[in-house]
Structure 1
Amino acid sequence: MAATVTVGSETLGLAVPPFTPHAISVSLPTWRDNVGYEEGEKRVVESMVSGYPRFFIHLSIQKLASICEQKFGINGEQCLLCPSKKVADHCRTFILNRAAIAGTPTHVRLVQYFICPEDVSTPSPPTDKPSSVPPAQCAELHIALFPSEIFPIAKQFWQHTGLGISSRFAEHCLSLIPSQELKSSQSPPPQSPITPRPPFKALNKHYSVKHTPRSPSLGDNRPSVLPPAVSSDALSKDQSTYLEERYGRNLPLSAGAFAKRALRRRIAGVLVRDSLDDGPQGPCAGAQDVEVGPSSRGVQVTEEDVFLFPTGMAAIWNAHQLALGARPVTKSVCFGFPYTDTLKILEKWGPGAHFFGYGLDSDLDSLETLLDEESARNPSNPPVLALFTEFPSNPLLRTADIHRLRALADKHDFLLVVDETIGNFVNIEVLPYADVVVSSLSKIFSGDANAMGGSLVLNPKGRNYAALKQHMAATYEDNYFSEDAVFMERNSRNFTQRIRDIDRNTEDVCDFLRSHSLAGGASSPAIKEVWYPKYTTTKNYMSCKLPEGGYGGLFSLTFTSLPVSQAFFDALPCLKGPSLGTNFTLACPYTILAHYTELGWAAEYGVEEGLVRISVGLEEKDKLLGWFQTALTAAEAAR
């Protein structure tokens, strides 16, 4: 069960979960804190030592970037760190294109950098041209350098694609650099109002990958300090050791291959038995001789049809790139109000997107009209490239009529890409209807909120499967850092049972809240509506709900006024911050965080400024109901 936590203003800016060096959320405990975060308020940004990795660049990555900027930068250039030349090329192309659109032409230089221990020869000096593959003991970085004034544009690539290096990879690189050289680097100014570089302090040694040999000197004698381990110094040595062993940190990076194989099999649903114990050669679910059987995904998918990525957004970005590469290029469709970066990907790469923001049956009628008109205009090509939809959507938990979408895709020959992150394949079966299914493994599949990951699954029964599989075989690049995969594999072993428990908790909480809502018939309520698949586009959700499946662990609330929303949120005594699918209950004022600069536009599609999104965890039912009663009482008092 989830641990008891105390939430208060003193937690502002700290890691969520607490005492977690690679936490993927941050504590923003009050409504005012969330607004302050969006507005770059000094009180908030100077408190932050953590954040969602695509928005807040982890302090270890900032430290490594600072070293690279000082070593390779010219005239104050800043950089983004990429795991491969291919990603760096995409980064450079994006920056140049977006800067040109903005009317600020710029330059981007790429540097390939090998960080090697002293007893291993570096393949060649760092250069801006590709070199040979480094020895296994070395780390390979691809650095995109650009003028500092272009950083806001470059940061969009980091945010939208999720393709940047992970914090664990950054720490691996830092562990190869001699301590005297780390001390000689200097922390630069903040990258942006919401990604500050505060003074660094010594790493807790327990969170470093230990390597005795060191790399050659970086040749910089300026004074500096080290990145923090996000509150890990508050742990005793025994506690730190326990956490490391619990999460598999001590497994060698060579275990990554076993972990990735186990993840692909788990996602493909082919494991006959899925043990919680490690085998002699690594995670037993990833062993060569493990027993596998027919897939439980509704289609006979195999582990070879599953592709892993460093983040969920990287899976979505790659799904779009797959469509652009394997099919005739034209606009895509975003159906339903999506998580913000999905729409940005469709708009900023390729020819653009048609947006049907409600995702209701009336939108399907409009979509069908569009498809017929485009087909009549150009009958030689499909009218659209691909349709992207979430099942259900974030944050309104609406579900599109996937049967009708499938029929339209068949009729007009476009790809259907379904994001099942919120529904998840324990609860729903969407693969038989989709050409491609994507998911953020960072959410409930992991649960512990200490590792990022994403997956893309091809439907072998899809009409375009052969072309998609061939394109993936030719272009797929595994940039999922092995240590992140090891954590993800260990976290996900019990995900089925966790989902079952969270489903029950969420349904109990939502039934309670809806009974006190305007939609549920309450008189003079504070809550206007509970957005949850049990009550929201229920027929469409039920069409793919598995017999043992539930409605998921996410719901949203809208209120009768903004002050009521604020009172409810501030009084809710759970952890508060971005992300979802955590083993602990986590709440956020979603529209404030995701659409602060476009509140009016979001409201047009029913995503109100006062919306509160809640991801329910594994706490005891009575405790959860007590928390929501406390918040409801405060909201009713604010009416």
Structure 2
Amino acid sequence: MIATILPPAIPLGGTVPAMTAHAISVSLPTWEDNVDYEKGNKRVLDAMETGYPRFFIHRSIQKLAALCLNKFGRPDELCILLPSPRVATQARDFLSSQQPSLPSRIVEFVICPSISSLPPEPCTPSGTSSVDIIELQILLFDKSHWSTAKSFWQHTGDGISSRMAETALNLLGEFTPISNLTSPMMEKRETKPYSRNRHYSRKSSTPTSISPTTPLTPIVTTPLQSRQIDEELLNEENLTTELTTYLEERYGRNLPLFNAGLAKQALKRRIAGGLLPSDEDFGKIDDVARAGGAGKKAVSEEDVFLYPTGMSAIWHAHEVCRVAKRRSGGQEGKSVCYGFPYTDTIKILTKWGPGCHFFPTGGNQDIPSLEKVLELKSSDEPPILALFCEFPSNPLLTSPDLVAIRKLADKYGFVVVVDETVGNFINVEVAAFADIVVSSLTKIFSGDANVMGGSLILNPNSSHYTILKETLSTTYEDLYFPEDAVYMERNSRDYRSRIKTINDNAHLVTEYLYSHSLSNPSHPSQTIIKKVYYPRWITPETYVQSQRLPTLGKGGFGGLFSLTFTSMIASRAFFDALPCAKGPSLGTSFTLASPYTILAHYYELDWAAGCGVEEGLVRISVGQEEEDVAMAMFQVALQAAERAVVEESGRGR
């Protein structure tokens, strides 16, 4: 009976979610699949339809890059595609900063329909109310420098999105998906399918030779809808119930693309705490204001900035701190990475700027060590620039002492940047302690795992607010592709109700697993679970400092937890038997698991182990399944792991 109610398996390399064009995860259903993926095994790579977008270049982006390379590149070059001249310049500077310096060049490619195919309006830049033009920045470099250029794409999160690539392909008349390009992007150039006649001409009279700025005529165009949202509604201070109903009834689930600006406005208000009245469970949490309170200003939508990915928000938070410090006449110092972070965060802090101090535990025991570093700064070394932490951390679910960190920041003048992705602002409120709050909207805020996004919030009560806001007002670029914003707005409407269900499911599942772990004094004799990493049991005293009360659902500890086991045999058997989606990412509406350390730190396992992150750790993001289904999944996996350990023990006798 259990087998009939469990979700079907997604085959190796399939999109997660299944059959989703812009899926942000890929199915790696066994432990061996994950190891072979890290090793670059052909068996796995050939099966992959997609992958996490900052690591695996989406097929549509690969195809567009191949077209650009065929037009502008040399035989010894590869390229990455970027959304603005500023980002392209930053990428070029990153390559030139390497030792030795790596040369590169930038080509701007403007893709726009011919004027005759448009309404009587000029083309508007990408990112505004309608997408009539795509302005690509093509960074070209020697093939041997691919891995370095790809690291810029990965760490900054500022590459173009798959939907932007598809829009560009549509404008070029190349809208058929490509199937079997190799990864990384264009390792082998295929010129035959992209001959000039096929690529740059229609069967009509479109020219066969086109300069980078010549408008192109698309094969397929979607007429712009003439209906416009009532200006009176748009100018209201809040998205009212009437407007919400108007949007739902008139346009259905998705806003039309020409109203992407409205979608972004709704996202900013939602992130600032002003969740729409149409959201399920609206009003069941009285205090939704971010950072507000007695004598304090609440976060407004003007304090929220959107980015194409969560990693982009983190990268730009670091960049804003650096620029603000220089503008205020100070000298840029090192940053602090407090707690074991998501892999790219520490790489950002070490590859841009003078480096960072790393405190891998990030617990109360590190506060004295942190203060010692702050006190012992020599006169010839600038003070700490900023402290970056996660609340709670990924994958160990440690909650740093934000009260103590805030006191140190006020005393020594550094900026506090908190990543709230795992905690999410329905369960916790960190804005009161941070100067900057960043989040990956890709995760639980979206839930559907079909669009990327990130946000950065400035705390209006911060002593650094004025200089940070001034810096952002002159450096911020809206790189969030309109269609991505529309999907993110749609996905996040039921954010609250999803959080409640996930809180309830995670509370139920982790309680069962904890009872079968060595941490429980009355655990069963055959226990193979060593530890359950979940805020309920990991640093609960500091988690509660920022926990929203009353909690939404049981516990209010979120949907992410990690498990360690008594042996690698148990880890592998548990993971392989767990009947849920398996792949990178978290915060999905469905349960998603991964052997986190293998995926994130395969070539630095000893280093990760030294930071307390074991090789056999399994990370699980709980979804919205029915409670009996959620429980059955983990019961099946635990029983399989226990059998595997018994069988291995029998073979060893």
The TM tier, using the shorter chain, reads 0.7 to 0.9
1:558 aligned partner: 564
2:245 aligned partner: none
1:188 Cα deviation (Å)?
Answer: 6.7
**In the alignment, does 2:376 pair up with 1:373?**
yes
Map 1:72-471 to 2 at 5 A.
Answer: 72-98=72-98, 101=99, 103=100, 105-119=101-115, 137-179=132-174, 190-191=183-184, 217=208, 248=254, 251-271=255-275, 273-274=277-278, 295-298=289-292, 299-327=297-325, 328=330, 329-374=332-377, 377-378=378-379, 383-471=383-471
**1:456–1:213 distance in 2 versus 1, CA, 3 Å:** farther
**1:552–1:190 distance in 2 versus 1, CA, 3 Å:** closer
1:479 Cα deviation (Å)?
Answer: 0.3
2:527 aligned partner: 525
**1:186–1:493 distance in 2 versus 1, CA, 3 Å:** closer
1:382 Cα deviation (Å)?
Answer: 6.1
Q: Quick check: 2:83–2:137 contact (8 Å CA) kept in 1?
A: yes
Q: Quick check: 1:382–1:412 contact (8 Å CA) kept in 2?
A: no
Q: Quick check: 1:162–1:312 contact (8 Å CA) kept in 2?
A: yes
The one-letter code sitting in structure 2 at the alignment partner of 1:162 is G
The one-letter code sitting in structure 2 at the alignment partner of 1:72 is F
Between the aligned partners of 1:529 and 1:412, the Cα distance in structure 2 is: 37
1:74 Cα deviation (Å)?
Answer: 1.4
Q: What CA RMSD, in Å, does the superposition of the two structures yield over aligned residues? A: 3.0
Aligned to 1:78, what secondary structure does the other structure show? Answer: strand
**In the alignment, does 2:639 pair up with 1:633?**
yes
1:205 aligned partner: none
The one-letter code sitting in structure 2 at the alignment partner of 1:539 is E
Deviations 1:21-50 (A, max 9, x none): 000000000000000100000100000011
**In the alignment, does 2:579 pair up with 1:573?**
yes
1:45 aligned partner: 45
Candidates 625, 631, 642, aligned match of 1:619:
625
1:475 aligned partner: 475
Aligned to 1:176, what secondary structure does the other structure show? Answer: helix
1:172 Cα deviation (Å)?
Answer: 0.3
1:127 aligned partner: none
**1:215–1:386 distance in 2 versus 1, CA, 3 Å:** farther
1:11 aligned partner: 11
The one-letter code sitting in structure 2 at the alignment partner of 1:333 is V
Deviations 1:325-369 (A, max 9, x none): 112311000000000000000000011100000111221111111
Between the aligned partners of 1:627 and 1:591, the Cα distance in structure 2 is: 22
Aligned to 1:494, what secondary structure does the other structure show? Answer: helix
Aligned to 1:432, what secondary structure does the other structure show? Answer: coil
Return the TM-score normalized by structure 2: 0.82
Between the aligned partners of 2:140 and 2:20, the Cα distance in structure 1 is: 30
Deviations 1:194-246 (A, max 9, x none): x9999999xxxxxxxxx9999754679xxxxxxxxxxxxxxxxxxxxxxxx97
The one-letter code sitting in structure 2 at the alignment partner of 1:406 is R
The one-letter code sitting in structure 1 at the alignment partner of 2:501 is D
The one-letter code sitting in structure 2 at the alignment partner of 1:553 is G
Q: Quick check: 2:310–2:439 contact (8 Å CA) kept in 1?
A: yes
Q: Quick check: 1:518–1:524 contact (8 Å CA) kept in 2?
A: no
> Identity over the aligned pairs, expressed in percent?
53
Aligned to 1:466, what secondary structure does the other structure show? Answer: helix
**1:196–1:520 distance in 2 versus 1, CA, 3 Å:** farther
Aligned to 1:513, what secondary structure does the other structure show? Answer: helix
Between the aligned partners of 2:190 and 2:111, the Cα distance in structure 1 is: 25
**1:271–1:636 distance in 2 versus 1, CA, 3 Å:** closer
Deviations 1:597-629 (A, max 9, x none): 000000011100000000000001111111101
2:542 aligned partner: 540
1:271 Cα deviation (Å)?
Answer: 4.6
Q: Quick check: 1:119–1:213 contact (8 Å CA) kept in 2?
A: no
1:383 Cα deviation (Å)?
Answer: 2.1
Answer with 466-475 or 75-84: which moved more. 75-84
Deviations 1:371-419 (A, max 9, x none): 0101xx229x862000000000000000111100000000000000000
Between the aligned partners of 1:579 and 1:420, the Cα distance in structure 2 is: 15
Return the TM-score normalized by structure 1: 0.84
**1:393–1:635 distance in 2 versus 1, CA, 3 Å:** same
Q: Quick check: 1:505–1:617 contact (8 Å CA) kept in 2?
A: yes
| Structure 1 unaligned spans of 5+ | 123-129, 202-210, 221-244, 277-292
**1:601–1:216 distance in 2 versus 1, CA, 3 Å:** farther
Between the aligned partners of 1:608 and 1:215, the Cα distance in structure 2 is: 59
**1:511–1:217 distance in 2 versus 1, CA, 3 Å:** farther
**1:189–1:13 distance in 2 versus 1, CA, 3 Å:** closer
1:579 Cα deviation (Å)?
Answer: 0.2
1:297 Cα deviation (Å)?
Answer: 4.5
1:240 aligned partner: none
**1:575–1:96 distance in 2 versus 1, CA, 3 Å:** same
Between the aligned partners of 1:141 and 1:182, the Cα distance in structure 2 is: 20
Between the aligned partners of 2:185 and 2:430, the Cα distance in structure 1 is: 40
1:206 aligned partner: none
1:149 Cα deviation (Å)?
Answer: 1.0
**1:68–1:272 distance in 2 versus 1, CA, 3 Å:** closer
The one-letter code sitting in structure 2 at the alignment partner of 1:148 is K
**1:635–1:261 distance in 2 versus 1, CA, 3 Å:** same
| Structure 2 unaligned spans of 5+ | 119-124, 194-201, 212-250, 281-286, 646-653
**1:474–1:5 distance in 2 versus 1, CA, 3 Å:** farther
The one-letter code sitting in structure 2 at the alignment partner of 1:113 is F
Answer with 522-531 or 444-453: which moved more. 522-531
1:247 Cα deviation (Å)?
Answer: 5.8
Aligned to 1:555, what secondary structure does the other structure show? Answer: strand
Map 1:584-599 to 2 at 5 A.
Answer: 584-599=590-605
Between the aligned partners of 1:27 and 1:436, the Cα distance in structure 2 is: 34
Q: Quick check: 1:189–1:197 contact (8 Å CA) kept in 2?
A: no
Answer with 323-332 or 518-527: which moved more. 518-527
